[in-house]
Structure 1
Amino acid sequence: MEASALAGRVRHIGRGLAVATAVGAAGGVAAAGYGLWEKNQFVLREENLPILPPGFGPIRVLHLSDIHFVPGQRRKADWLASLAGLKPDLVVNTGDNLSHVKAVEPLLESLRPLMTFPGVFVPGSNDYFAPRLKNPAAYFRGPSLRPKSPEKLDWPRLRSGFGMSGWVDLTNRCQSLILKGLRVDFSGVDDPHLRLERYAGWPRGTSGQDANPHLRVAVVHAPYQRVLDHFTGDGADLILAGHTHGGQICVPGYGALVANCDLPTWRAKGLNDWGRDGRTTPVNVSGGIGTSRFAPVRIACKPEAVLLTLTARP
Protein backbone atom coordinates (compact mmCIF):
# COMPACT_ATOMS: atom_id res chain seq x y z
CA MET A 1 0.00 0.00 0.00
CA GLU A 2 1.33 3.47 -0.91
CA ALA A 3 2.27 5.79 1.96
CA SER A 4 -0.40 8.34 1.00
CA ALA A 5 -3.14 5.68 0.93
CA LEU A 6 -1.98 4.27 4.26
CA ALA A 7 -2.02 7.72 5.82
CA GLY A 8 -5.55 8.29 4.50
CA ARG A 9 -6.74 5.03 5.98
CA VAL A 10 -5.21 5.87 9.36
CA ARG A 11 -6.99 9.25 9.28
CA HIS A 12 -10.28 7.51 8.43
CA ILE A 13 -9.92 5.07 11.31
CA GLY A 14 -8.99 7.91 13.64
CA ARG A 15 -12.10 9.86 12.63
CA GLY A 16 -14.22 6.75 13.24
CA LEU A 17 -12.76 6.27 16.71
CA ALA A 18 -13.30 9.94 17.50
CA VAL A 19 -16.95 9.74 16.41
CA ALA A 20 -17.49 6.54 18.43
CA THR A 21 -15.89 8.13 21.48
CA ALA A 22 -18.02 11.24 21.09
CA VAL A 23 -21.20 9.18 20.69
CA GLY A 24 -20.30 7.10 23.75
CA ALA A 25 -19.58 10.22 25.77
CA ALA A 26 -22.84 11.83 24.68
CA GLY A 27 -24.71 8.66 25.58
CA GLY A 28 -23.07 8.65 29.00
CA VAL A 29 -23.98 12.28 29.59
CA ALA A 30 -27.57 11.60 28.49
CA ALA A 31 -27.85 8.57 30.79
CA ALA A 32 -26.43 10.55 33.71
CA GLY A 33 -28.86 13.37 33.04
CA TYR A 34 -31.77 10.96 32.91
CA GLY A 35 -30.59 9.28 36.11
CA LEU A 36 -30.43 12.64 37.90
CA TRP A 37 -34.02 13.32 36.79
CA GLU A 38 -35.40 9.89 37.71
CA LYS A 39 -34.01 9.97 41.27
CA ASN A 40 -36.71 12.58 42.06
CA GLN A 41 -39.61 10.79 40.35
CA PHE A 42 -41.06 9.39 43.56
CA VAL A 43 -43.78 6.74 43.28
CA LEU A 44 -46.01 4.76 45.61
CA ARG A 45 -46.11 1.02 45.01
CA GLU A 46 -49.25 -0.64 46.35
CA GLU A 47 -49.57 -4.29 47.33
CA ASN A 48 -52.38 -6.37 48.82
CA LEU A 49 -51.66 -9.30 51.13
CA PRO A 50 -54.37 -11.62 52.57
CA ILE A 51 -52.41 -12.72 55.66
CA LEU A 52 -54.52 -11.53 58.62
CA PRO A 53 -56.55 -13.87 60.82
CA PRO A 54 -60.20 -14.17 59.76
CA GLY A 55 -62.33 -11.27 60.91
CA PHE A 56 -59.51 -8.68 61.05
CA GLY A 57 -58.36 -5.89 58.80
CA PRO A 58 -57.73 -4.20 56.60
CA ILE A 59 -54.46 -2.86 58.05
CA ARG A 60 -52.55 -0.35 55.91
CA VAL A 61 -48.76 -0.50 56.36
CA LEU A 62 -46.54 2.20 54.86
CA HIS A 63 -43.04 0.81 54.25
CA LEU A 64 -40.20 3.38 54.00
CA SER A 65 -36.57 2.50 53.35
CA ASP A 66 -33.25 3.96 52.21
CA ILE A 67 -34.22 7.62 52.34
CA HIS A 68 -30.51 8.62 52.35
CA PHE A 69 -31.42 12.19 53.20
CA VAL A 70 -29.13 15.13 52.38
CA PRO A 71 -29.84 18.70 53.58
CA GLY A 72 -31.49 20.74 50.84
CA GLN A 73 -33.49 17.88 49.30
CA ARG A 74 -36.70 19.92 49.35
CA ARG A 75 -38.57 17.82 46.81
CA LYS A 76 -37.88 14.62 48.71
CA ALA A 77 -38.81 16.26 52.02
CA ASP A 78 -42.13 17.53 50.66
CA TRP A 79 -42.97 14.12 49.18
CA LEU A 80 -42.19 12.33 52.45
CA ALA A 81 -44.42 14.74 54.35
CA SER A 82 -47.22 14.27 51.80
CA LEU A 83 -47.34 10.52 52.53
CA ALA A 84 -49.14 11.34 55.77
CA GLY A 85 -52.20 11.90 53.58
CA LEU A 86 -52.37 8.11 53.12
CA LYS A 87 -53.31 7.83 56.82
CA PRO A 88 -51.53 4.49 57.35
CA ASP A 89 -52.28 2.33 60.36
CA LEU A 90 -48.55 1.66 60.74
CA VAL A 91 -45.28 3.05 59.38
CA VAL A 92 -42.31 0.68 59.06
CA ASN A 93 -38.87 2.24 58.49
CA THR A 94 -36.20 -0.27 57.43
CA GLY A 95 -33.16 1.97 57.74
CA ASP A 96 -30.48 3.89 55.82
CA ASN A 97 -32.17 7.19 56.54
CA LEU A 98 -29.08 9.40 56.21
CA SER A 99 -26.46 10.34 53.63
CA HIS A 100 -24.92 13.38 55.35
CA VAL A 101 -23.71 14.29 58.85
CA LYS A 102 -26.11 17.27 58.99
CA ALA A 103 -29.17 15.39 57.77
CA VAL A 104 -30.76 14.32 61.06
CA GLU A 105 -32.80 17.42 61.86
CA PRO A 106 -34.15 18.10 58.35
CA LEU A 107 -35.03 14.42 58.00
CA LEU A 108 -36.94 14.39 61.26
CA GLU A 109 -38.76 17.53 60.18
CA SER A 110 -39.81 15.95 56.88
CA LEU A 111 -41.03 12.80 58.65
CA ARG A 112 -42.85 14.65 61.42
CA PRO A 113 -46.32 14.35 59.80
CA LEU A 114 -45.81 10.58 59.48
CA MET A 115 -44.63 10.26 63.06
CA THR A 116 -48.17 10.99 64.26
CA PHE A 117 -48.98 7.39 63.24
CA PRO A 118 -47.74 4.23 65.00
CA GLY A 119 -44.38 3.09 63.70
CA VAL A 120 -41.46 0.72 64.10
CA PHE A 121 -37.88 1.00 62.82
CA VAL A 122 -34.47 -0.65 62.48
CA PRO A 123 -31.17 0.96 61.38
CA GLY A 124 -29.05 0.42 58.31
CA SER A 125 -25.33 1.01 57.91
CA ASN A 126 -25.99 4.56 56.62
CA ASP A 127 -27.62 5.45 59.91
CA TYR A 128 -24.32 4.68 61.65
CA PHE A 129 -21.77 5.73 59.03
CA ALA A 130 -21.75 8.26 56.19
CA PRO A 131 -21.35 6.94 52.64
CA ARG A 132 -17.98 7.37 50.96
CA LEU A 133 -16.92 7.87 47.36
CA LYS A 134 -16.24 4.50 45.72
CA ASN A 135 -15.94 2.91 42.30
CA PRO A 136 -19.46 1.77 41.27
CA ALA A 137 -17.93 -1.23 39.49
CA ALA A 138 -16.98 -2.60 42.91
CA TYR A 139 -20.61 -3.62 43.49
CA PHE A 140 -20.24 -6.26 40.77
CA ARG A 141 -17.61 -7.98 42.92
CA GLY A 142 -20.12 -8.60 45.71
CA PRO A 143 -21.68 -6.73 48.65
CA SER A 144 -19.98 -3.46 49.57
CA LEU A 145 -17.74 -3.43 52.61
CA ARG A 146 -17.62 -1.03 55.54
CA PRO A 147 -14.76 1.46 55.02
CA LYS A 148 -11.82 1.26 57.38
CA SER A 149 -12.23 4.82 58.71
CA PRO A 150 -15.93 5.64 58.39
CA GLU A 151 -17.40 9.02 59.25
CA LYS A 152 -19.89 8.48 62.07
CA LEU A 153 -23.46 9.75 61.84
CA ASP A 154 -25.63 10.84 64.76
CA TRP A 155 -27.68 7.65 65.03
CA PRO A 156 -28.41 8.25 68.75
CA ARG A 157 -30.09 11.57 67.87
CA LEU A 158 -32.09 10.00 65.05
CA ARG A 159 -33.15 7.05 67.20
CA SER A 160 -34.18 9.45 69.97
CA GLY A 161 -36.22 11.51 67.52
CA PHE A 162 -38.07 8.44 66.31
CA GLY A 163 -38.57 7.16 69.84
CA MET A 164 -39.92 10.43 71.21
CA SER A 165 -42.58 10.34 68.50
CA GLY A 166 -43.70 6.92 69.71
CA TRP A 167 -42.05 4.81 67.03
CA VAL A 168 -40.72 1.52 68.43
CA ASP A 169 -37.02 0.66 68.12
CA LEU A 170 -36.70 -2.97 66.99
CA THR A 171 -32.90 -3.09 66.92
CA ASN A 172 -32.33 -6.71 68.02
CA ARG A 173 -35.60 -6.42 69.93
CA CYS A 174 -39.17 -7.69 69.83
CA GLN A 175 -42.38 -5.96 70.84
CA SER A 176 -46.15 -6.18 70.31
CA LEU A 177 -48.56 -3.47 69.17
CA ILE A 178 -52.33 -3.52 68.92
CA LEU A 179 -53.48 -2.41 65.46
CA LYS A 180 -57.22 -2.21 64.78
CA GLY A 181 -57.91 -4.75 67.49
CA LEU A 182 -55.26 -7.25 66.35
CA ARG A 183 -52.06 -7.99 68.26
CA VAL A 184 -49.11 -7.64 65.91
CA ASP A 185 -45.86 -9.17 67.17
CA PHE A 186 -42.68 -7.62 65.78
CA SER A 187 -39.14 -8.97 65.78
CA GLY A 188 -36.31 -6.85 64.37
CA VAL A 189 -32.56 -7.03 63.94
CA ASP A 190 -29.65 -4.65 63.59
CA ASP A 191 -28.13 -4.36 60.11
CA PRO A 192 -27.06 -7.74 58.67
CA HIS A 193 -24.89 -5.88 56.13
CA LEU A 194 -22.60 -5.09 59.08
CA ARG A 195 -23.25 -8.54 60.61
CA LEU A 196 -24.84 -6.91 63.66
CA GLU A 197 -28.03 -8.98 63.71
CA ARG A 198 -28.95 -10.74 66.96
CA TYR A 199 -32.28 -12.54 67.13
CA ALA A 200 -34.59 -11.63 69.98
CA GLY A 201 -37.32 -14.10 69.04
CA TRP A 202 -40.96 -13.08 69.35
CA PRO A 203 -42.67 -11.35 72.27
CA ARG A 204 -43.13 -13.83 75.13
CA GLY A 205 -46.22 -15.96 75.06
CA THR A 206 -46.66 -16.11 71.28
CA SER A 207 -44.55 -19.12 70.34
CA GLY A 208 -47.18 -21.84 70.10
CA GLN A 209 -48.60 -20.88 73.51
CA ASP A 210 -51.19 -18.26 72.63
CA ALA A 211 -54.43 -19.20 70.88
CA ASN A 212 -55.49 -15.57 70.47
CA PRO A 213 -55.27 -14.23 66.88
CA HIS A 214 -52.04 -12.41 66.14
CA LEU A 215 -49.66 -11.58 63.28
CA ARG A 216 -45.86 -11.91 63.24
CA VAL A 217 -43.87 -9.31 61.32
CA ALA A 218 -40.06 -9.36 60.97
CA VAL A 219 -38.26 -6.08 60.24
CA VAL A 220 -34.71 -5.95 58.83
CA HIS A 221 -32.60 -3.59 56.76
CA ALA A 222 -30.53 -5.86 54.49
CA PRO A 223 -32.32 -9.00 53.22
CA TYR A 224 -29.46 -11.48 53.42
CA GLN A 225 -30.55 -15.05 52.85
CA ARG A 226 -29.44 -16.19 56.31
CA VAL A 227 -31.82 -13.66 57.87
CA LEU A 228 -34.73 -14.54 55.61
CA ASP A 229 -34.11 -18.23 56.39
CA HIS A 230 -34.16 -17.53 60.12
CA PHE A 231 -37.38 -15.53 60.18
CA THR A 232 -39.18 -17.83 57.76
CA GLY A 233 -38.20 -20.85 59.84
CA ASP A 234 -39.19 -19.02 63.00
CA GLY A 235 -42.77 -18.47 61.89
CA ALA A 236 -42.86 -14.92 60.51
CA ASP A 237 -46.04 -14.06 58.60
CA LEU A 238 -44.36 -11.14 56.81
CA ILE A 239 -40.79 -9.85 56.38
CA LEU A 240 -40.05 -6.23 55.48
CA ALA A 241 -36.60 -5.17 54.21
CA GLY A 242 -34.77 -2.59 52.08
CA HIS A 243 -31.06 -1.98 51.35
CA THR A 244 -30.96 -3.05 47.68
CA HIS A 245 -32.23 0.22 46.14
CA GLY A 246 -33.97 -2.13 43.71
CA GLY A 247 -30.64 -2.32 41.91
CA GLN A 248 -30.67 1.49 41.47
CA ILE A 249 -29.36 1.29 37.91
CA CYS A 250 -31.43 -1.32 36.07
CA VAL A 251 -31.75 -2.54 32.51
CA PRO A 252 -35.25 -1.99 31.08
CA GLY A 253 -36.89 -5.34 30.43
CA TYR A 254 -34.27 -7.15 32.52
CA GLY A 255 -34.11 -5.50 35.92
CA ALA A 256 -31.42 -5.17 38.57
CA LEU A 257 -27.79 -6.02 37.89
CA VAL A 258 -26.74 -6.02 41.55
CA ALA A 259 -28.47 -6.35 44.92
CA ASN A 260 -25.53 -5.45 47.23
CA CYS A 261 -26.19 -8.61 49.26
CA ASP A 262 -26.55 -12.31 48.51
CA LEU A 263 -30.18 -11.97 47.43
CA PRO A 264 -30.80 -12.99 43.78
CA THR A 265 -31.07 -9.86 41.66
CA TRP A 266 -34.59 -10.72 40.49
CA ARG A 267 -35.65 -10.36 44.13
CA ALA A 268 -34.00 -6.94 44.52
CA LYS A 269 -37.38 -5.18 44.61
CA GLY A 270 -40.96 -6.24 45.13
CA LEU A 271 -43.14 -8.71 46.97
CA ASN A 272 -42.07 -12.37 46.76
CA ASP A 273 -42.39 -15.55 48.79
CA TRP A 274 -39.30 -16.90 50.56
CA GLY A 275 -39.17 -20.63 51.26
CA ARG A 276 -37.43 -22.44 54.09
CA ASP A 277 -37.96 -26.03 55.34
CA GLY A 278 -41.28 -26.37 53.58
CA ARG A 279 -42.60 -23.03 54.85
CA THR A 280 -43.03 -19.81 52.88
CA THR A 281 -43.20 -16.22 54.05
CA PRO A 282 -43.99 -13.14 51.93
CA VAL A 283 -41.05 -10.73 51.79
CA ASN A 284 -41.40 -7.14 50.67
CA VAL A 285 -38.10 -5.61 49.56
CA SER A 286 -38.43 -1.87 49.08
CA GLY A 287 -36.64 -0.32 46.12
CA GLY A 288 -35.83 2.59 48.41
CA ILE A 289 -36.39 6.32 48.30
CA GLY A 290 -32.88 7.76 47.93
CA THR A 291 -29.32 7.14 46.83
CA SER A 292 -25.85 7.72 48.20
CA ARG A 293 -24.97 11.37 47.69
CA PHE A 294 -21.94 10.16 45.73
CA ALA A 295 -24.09 8.24 43.21
CA PRO A 296 -27.23 10.40 42.87
CA VAL A 297 -28.80 8.64 39.90
CA ARG A 298 -31.50 6.05 39.29
CA ILE A 299 -32.21 4.40 35.95
CA ALA A 300 -35.30 2.25 35.30
CA CYS A 301 -35.79 2.10 39.06
CA LYS A 302 -37.86 4.98 40.39
CA PRO A 303 -37.64 5.78 44.12
CA GLU A 304 -40.56 4.29 45.98
CA ALA A 305 -42.50 3.98 49.18
CA VAL A 306 -44.72 0.91 49.53
CA LEU A 307 -48.26 0.77 50.86
CA LEU A 308 -49.23 -2.77 51.84
CA THR A 309 -52.90 -3.40 52.56
CA LEU A 310 -53.16 -6.46 54.79
CA THR A 311 -56.48 -8.26 54.64
CA ALA A 312 -57.97 -11.40 56.16
CA ARG A 313 -57.01 -14.81 54.84
CA PRO A 314 -59.75 -16.38 52.68
Structure 2
Amino acid sequence: MVGRFFYYLLNVFFTIVPLNMLFRIFPSEKRKSRDVYLASIFYAIFFLWMLPVPTAIASRYTMIFIYPFTAFNMFFFLGGSKSFKFILFCLYFNVLMLIEATSSLILSLIGLLFPRLHITGIFVAFEGNDISISLLCTIEMIVYLIIFSVVIRFISTHAYLLRLSLLISLLLPILLPMILNNIFTILSQNSLPTYIYLIPALISSFLIFRLFRHGIHLLKDSEKENAIEQHRLLTVQQEIDHLHSLDQEYQKLYVWNHDMANHLLALSLLSEQEKYDQALSYMKQLQENGGNIK
Protein backbone atom coordinates (compact mmCIF):
# COMPACT_ATOMS: atom_id res chain seq x y z
CA MET A 1 0.00 0.00 0.00
CA VAL A 2 2.94 2.33 0.67
CA GLY A 3 4.23 1.86 -2.87
CA ARG A 4 0.80 2.59 -4.33
CA PHE A 5 0.54 5.79 -2.31
CA PHE A 6 3.96 6.99 -3.51
CA TYR A 7 3.03 6.19 -7.11
CA TYR A 8 -0.20 8.14 -6.64
CA LEU A 9 1.83 11.09 -5.35
CA LEU A 10 4.18 10.83 -8.33
CA ASN A 11 1.36 11.07 -10.88
CA VAL A 12 -0.32 13.93 -9.05
CA PHE A 13 3.07 15.61 -8.82
CA PHE A 14 3.77 15.23 -12.55
CA THR A 15 0.39 16.75 -13.36
CA ILE A 16 0.09 19.57 -10.84
CA VAL A 17 3.64 20.86 -10.37
CA PRO A 18 4.44 21.76 -14.02
CA LEU A 19 1.07 23.47 -14.32
CA ASN A 20 1.70 25.68 -11.29
CA MET A 21 5.34 26.38 -12.16
CA LEU A 22 4.60 27.33 -15.76
CA PHE A 23 1.49 29.34 -14.89
CA ARG A 24 3.56 31.64 -12.69
CA ILE A 25 5.81 32.53 -15.64
CA PHE A 26 3.47 32.25 -18.64
CA PRO A 27 -0.02 32.98 -17.26
CA SER A 28 -2.99 33.34 -19.54
CA GLU A 29 -4.91 36.58 -19.22
CA LYS A 30 -8.16 34.61 -19.37
CA ARG A 31 -7.29 32.34 -16.45
CA LYS A 32 -6.86 33.06 -12.75
CA SER A 33 -4.89 31.36 -10.02
CA ARG A 34 -8.14 30.02 -8.62
CA ASP A 35 -8.71 28.06 -11.84
CA VAL A 36 -5.29 26.43 -11.47
CA TYR A 37 -6.01 25.51 -7.86
CA LEU A 38 -9.35 23.95 -8.81
CA ALA A 39 -7.69 21.95 -11.59
CA SER A 40 -5.02 20.76 -9.15
CA ILE A 41 -7.69 19.58 -6.71
CA PHE A 42 -9.47 17.77 -9.54
CA TYR A 43 -6.29 15.91 -10.54
CA ALA A 44 -5.57 14.96 -6.94
CA ILE A 45 -9.06 13.48 -6.64
CA PHE A 46 -9.02 11.86 -10.08
CA PHE A 47 -5.84 9.87 -9.49
CA LEU A 48 -7.25 8.33 -6.32
CA TRP A 49 -8.29 5.36 -8.44
CA MET A 50 -4.62 4.28 -8.37
CA LEU A 51 -4.60 3.57 -4.63
CA PRO A 52 -6.54 0.28 -4.69
CA VAL A 53 -4.94 -0.84 -7.98
CA PRO A 54 -1.56 -2.66 -8.03
CA THR A 55 1.20 -0.31 -9.14
CA ALA A 56 2.29 -2.60 -11.97
CA ILE A 57 -1.19 -2.36 -13.49
CA ALA A 58 -1.66 1.36 -12.79
CA SER A 59 1.65 2.19 -14.47
CA ARG A 60 0.40 0.73 -17.75
CA TYR A 61 -2.38 3.31 -17.96
CA THR A 62 -0.57 6.31 -16.53
CA MET A 63 0.43 7.94 -19.80
CA ILE A 64 -3.11 7.58 -21.11
CA PHE A 65 -4.02 10.32 -18.64
CA ILE A 66 -0.75 12.22 -18.20
CA TYR A 67 -0.39 13.18 -21.88
CA PRO A 68 -3.90 14.63 -22.39
CA PHE A 69 -3.94 16.29 -18.97
CA THR A 70 -0.59 17.97 -19.61
CA ALA A 71 -1.66 19.08 -23.09
CA PHE A 72 -4.89 20.49 -21.67
CA ASN A 73 -3.01 22.33 -18.92
CA MET A 74 -0.58 23.97 -21.32
CA PHE A 75 -3.10 24.95 -23.97
CA PHE A 76 -5.86 26.04 -21.57
CA PHE A 77 -4.03 27.73 -18.69
CA LEU A 78 -0.85 29.15 -20.23
CA GLY A 79 -0.45 32.28 -22.31
CA GLY A 80 1.32 32.63 -25.63
CA SER A 81 0.78 31.36 -29.14
CA LYS A 82 -0.27 27.81 -29.99
CA SER A 83 3.16 27.03 -31.42
CA PHE A 84 4.78 28.21 -28.19
CA LYS A 85 2.51 25.95 -26.14
CA PHE A 86 3.21 23.04 -28.46
CA ILE A 87 6.94 23.58 -28.01
CA LEU A 88 6.50 23.60 -24.23
CA PHE A 89 4.50 20.39 -24.48
CA CYS A 90 7.21 18.62 -26.49
CA LEU A 91 9.95 20.02 -24.30
CA TYR A 92 8.15 18.79 -21.21
CA PHE A 93 8.22 15.16 -22.32
CA ASN A 94 11.83 15.37 -23.40
CA VAL A 95 12.56 16.59 -19.89
CA LEU A 96 10.62 13.61 -18.54
CA MET A 97 12.96 11.27 -20.42
CA LEU A 98 15.95 13.02 -18.89
CA ILE A 99 14.35 12.72 -15.46
CA GLU A 100 13.71 9.00 -15.93
CA ALA A 101 17.27 8.41 -17.11
CA THR A 102 18.72 10.32 -14.15
CA SER A 103 16.41 8.57 -11.69
CA SER A 104 17.32 5.20 -13.19
CA LEU A 105 21.01 5.92 -12.68
CA ILE A 106 20.52 6.98 -9.06
CA LEU A 107 18.28 4.00 -8.33
CA SER A 108 20.82 1.61 -9.86
CA LEU A 109 23.61 3.08 -7.74
CA ILE A 110 21.50 2.69 -4.61
CA GLY A 111 20.80 -0.91 -5.60
CA LEU A 112 24.53 -1.58 -5.98
CA LEU A 113 25.37 0.06 -2.66
CA PHE A 114 22.60 -1.71 -0.76
CA PRO A 115 22.05 -5.12 -2.42
CA ARG A 116 20.12 -6.47 0.55
CA LEU A 117 17.26 -4.09 -0.19
CA HIS A 118 16.61 -5.91 -3.49
CA ILE A 119 15.96 -2.65 -5.33
CA THR A 120 14.84 -3.11 -8.93
CA GLY A 121 15.52 -0.82 -11.89
CA ILE A 122 13.24 1.92 -13.13
CA PHE A 123 11.44 -0.06 -15.83
CA VAL A 124 10.55 -2.94 -13.55
CA ALA A 125 10.44 -1.08 -10.24
CA PHE A 126 6.67 -0.82 -10.36
CA GLU A 127 6.53 -4.60 -10.16
CA GLY A 128 9.04 -4.69 -7.32
CA ASN A 129 8.72 -4.24 -3.59
CA ASP A 130 7.43 -1.17 -1.79
CA ILE A 131 10.97 0.08 -1.17
CA SER A 132 11.75 0.11 -4.90
CA ILE A 133 8.51 1.88 -5.76
CA SER A 134 8.82 4.43 -2.96
CA LEU A 135 12.47 5.17 -3.75
CA LEU A 136 11.78 5.48 -7.45
CA CYS A 137 8.88 7.90 -6.95
CA THR A 138 10.78 9.98 -4.40
CA ILE A 139 13.88 10.21 -6.58
CA GLU A 140 11.86 11.16 -9.65
CA MET A 141 10.06 13.94 -7.78
CA ILE A 142 13.31 15.37 -6.41
CA VAL A 143 15.08 15.12 -9.76
CA TYR A 144 12.04 16.62 -11.44
CA LEU A 145 12.09 19.69 -9.20
CA ILE A 146 15.78 20.26 -9.89
CA ILE A 147 15.77 19.68 -13.65
CA PHE A 148 12.45 21.34 -14.41
CA SER A 149 13.42 24.43 -12.40
CA VAL A 150 16.58 24.72 -14.49
CA VAL A 151 14.59 24.23 -17.70
CA ILE A 152 12.06 26.90 -16.75
CA ARG A 153 14.85 29.32 -15.88
CA PHE A 154 16.45 28.55 -19.23
CA ILE A 155 13.16 29.13 -21.06
CA SER A 156 12.56 32.46 -19.34
CA THR A 157 16.04 33.73 -20.28
CA HIS A 158 16.36 32.10 -23.72
CA ALA A 159 12.83 32.37 -25.08
CA TYR A 160 14.23 33.20 -28.53
CA LEU A 161 15.33 29.56 -28.86
CA LEU A 162 11.77 28.28 -28.61
CA ARG A 163 11.25 27.92 -32.34
CA LEU A 164 9.39 25.03 -33.89
CA SER A 165 12.05 24.37 -36.55
CA LEU A 166 14.77 24.34 -33.90
CA LEU A 167 12.71 22.06 -31.69
CA ILE A 168 12.16 19.55 -34.48
CA SER A 169 15.82 19.56 -35.50
CA LEU A 170 17.25 19.12 -32.01
CA LEU A 171 14.65 17.17 -30.05
CA LEU A 172 13.37 14.86 -32.78
CA PRO A 173 16.79 13.17 -33.15
CA ILE A 174 16.47 12.27 -29.47
CA LEU A 175 13.01 10.77 -29.83
CA LEU A 176 13.48 8.98 -33.15
CA PRO A 177 16.16 6.51 -31.99
CA MET A 178 13.92 5.46 -29.11
CA ILE A 179 10.94 5.01 -31.42
CA LEU A 180 12.97 3.11 -34.00
CA ASN A 181 14.54 0.97 -31.30
CA ASN A 182 11.10 -0.10 -30.12
CA ILE A 183 10.04 -0.85 -33.69
CA PHE A 184 13.15 -2.89 -34.44
CA THR A 185 12.78 -4.73 -31.15
CA ILE A 186 9.28 -5.80 -32.09
CA LEU A 187 10.29 -6.74 -35.63
CA SER A 188 13.34 -8.68 -34.45
CA GLN A 189 11.05 -11.29 -32.97
CA ASN A 190 10.46 -12.50 -36.51
CA SER A 191 13.04 -14.77 -38.10
CA LEU A 192 14.37 -12.31 -40.68
CA PRO A 193 17.98 -11.82 -41.85
CA THR A 194 20.05 -9.29 -39.93
CA TYR A 195 20.79 -7.11 -42.96
CA ILE A 196 17.09 -6.33 -43.29
CA TYR A 197 17.34 -4.47 -39.97
CA LEU A 198 20.83 -3.14 -40.61
CA ILE A 199 19.99 -1.24 -43.80
CA PRO A 200 17.06 0.81 -42.39
CA ALA A 201 19.05 1.35 -39.19
CA LEU A 202 21.96 2.85 -41.14
CA ILE A 203 19.66 4.97 -43.30
CA SER A 204 17.72 6.27 -40.31
CA SER A 205 20.96 6.98 -38.43
CA PHE A 206 22.26 9.01 -41.36
CA LEU A 207 19.01 10.97 -41.61
CA ILE A 208 18.95 11.60 -37.87
CA PHE A 209 22.55 12.83 -38.01
CA ARG A 210 21.71 15.20 -40.87
CA LEU A 211 18.67 16.48 -39.02
CA PHE A 212 20.65 17.06 -35.83
CA ARG A 213 23.44 18.84 -37.73
CA HIS A 214 20.81 21.06 -39.34
CA GLY A 215 19.52 21.82 -35.85
CA ILE A 216 23.01 22.82 -34.72
CA HIS A 217 23.26 25.25 -37.65
CA LEU A 218 19.86 26.67 -36.76
CA LEU A 219 21.02 27.06 -33.17
CA LYS A 220 24.11 28.99 -34.30
CA ASP A 221 21.97 31.22 -36.52
CA SER A 222 19.57 31.86 -33.65
CA GLU A 223 22.43 32.83 -31.39
CA LYS A 224 23.80 35.22 -34.04
CA GLU A 225 20.37 36.77 -34.58
CA ASN A 226 19.92 37.16 -30.84
CA ALA A 227 23.36 38.78 -30.50
CA ILE A 228 22.49 41.25 -33.27
CA GLU A 229 19.12 41.95 -31.68
CA GLN A 230 20.67 42.48 -28.26
CA HIS A 231 23.22 44.88 -29.77
CA ARG A 232 20.44 46.76 -31.52
CA LEU A 233 18.43 46.99 -28.30
CA LEU A 234 21.52 48.19 -26.44
CA THR A 235 22.12 50.86 -29.08
CA VAL A 236 18.51 52.00 -28.89
CA GLN A 237 18.69 52.11 -25.10
CA GLN A 238 21.86 54.19 -25.24
CA GLU A 239 20.18 56.59 -27.65
CA ILE A 240 17.17 56.84 -25.35
CA ASP A 241 19.42 57.54 -22.37
CA HIS A 242 21.24 60.21 -24.39
CA LEU A 243 17.94 61.84 -25.32
CA HIS A 244 16.89 61.80 -21.67
CA SER A 245 20.14 63.51 -20.67
CA LEU A 246 19.64 66.14 -23.40
CA ASP A 247 16.09 66.70 -22.21
CA GLN A 248 17.31 67.19 -18.65
CA GLU A 249 19.92 69.70 -19.82
CA TYR A 250 17.25 71.50 -21.80
CA GLN A 251 15.00 71.66 -18.74
CA LYS A 252 17.86 73.08 -16.68
CA LEU A 253 18.58 75.66 -19.39
CA TYR A 254 14.91 76.56 -19.59
CA VAL A 255 14.73 77.12 -15.83
CA TRP A 256 17.95 79.18 -15.93
CA ASN A 257 16.62 81.38 -18.75
CA HIS A 258 13.37 81.84 -16.87
CA ASP A 259 15.24 82.88 -13.71
CA MET A 260 17.48 85.26 -15.65
CA ALA A 261 14.43 86.88 -17.21
CA ASN A 262 12.97 87.43 -13.74
CA HIS A 263 16.25 88.87 -12.45
CA LEU A 264 16.51 91.26 -15.41
CA LEU A 265 12.91 92.31 -14.87
CA ALA A 266 13.61 93.01 -11.21
CA LEU A 267 16.72 95.05 -12.07
CA SER A 268 14.79 96.95 -14.72
CA LEU A 269 12.06 97.88 -12.23
CA LEU A 270 14.62 99.00 -9.65
CA SER A 271 16.38 101.14 -12.27
CA GLU A 272 13.12 102.75 -13.39
CA GLN A 273 12.38 103.61 -9.76
CA GLU A 274 15.95 105.01 -9.44
CA LYS A 275 16.71 102.58 -6.62
CA TYR A 276 20.27 102.14 -7.76
CA ASP A 277 21.62 101.05 -4.39
CA GLN A 278 19.07 98.25 -4.18
CA ALA A 279 19.83 97.26 -7.77
CA LEU A 280 23.55 97.14 -6.99
CA SER A 281 22.88 95.07 -3.86
CA TYR A 282 20.64 92.75 -5.89
CA MET A 283 23.41 92.19 -8.45
CA LYS A 284 25.93 91.47 -5.69
CA GLN A 285 23.59 88.86 -4.24
CA LEU A 286 23.24 87.31 -7.67
CA GLN A 287 27.00 87.16 -8.00
CA GLU A 288 27.50 85.67 -4.53
CA ASN A 289 24.71 83.09 -4.85
CA GLY A 290 25.52 82.01 -8.38
CA GLY A 291 22.41 83.52 -9.90
CA ASN A 292 20.04 82.29 -7.18
CA ILE A 293 18.33 84.56 -4.67
CA LYS A 294 16.18 83.07 -1.97
Q: More strand by proportion, 1 or 2? A: 1
Q: Which has the higher contact order (CA 8 A, sep 6+)?
A: 1
Using structure 1 for the length normalisation, give the TM-score.
Answer: 0.21
Structure holding more helix per residue = 2
Whichever of the two has the greater Rg, that structure is 2
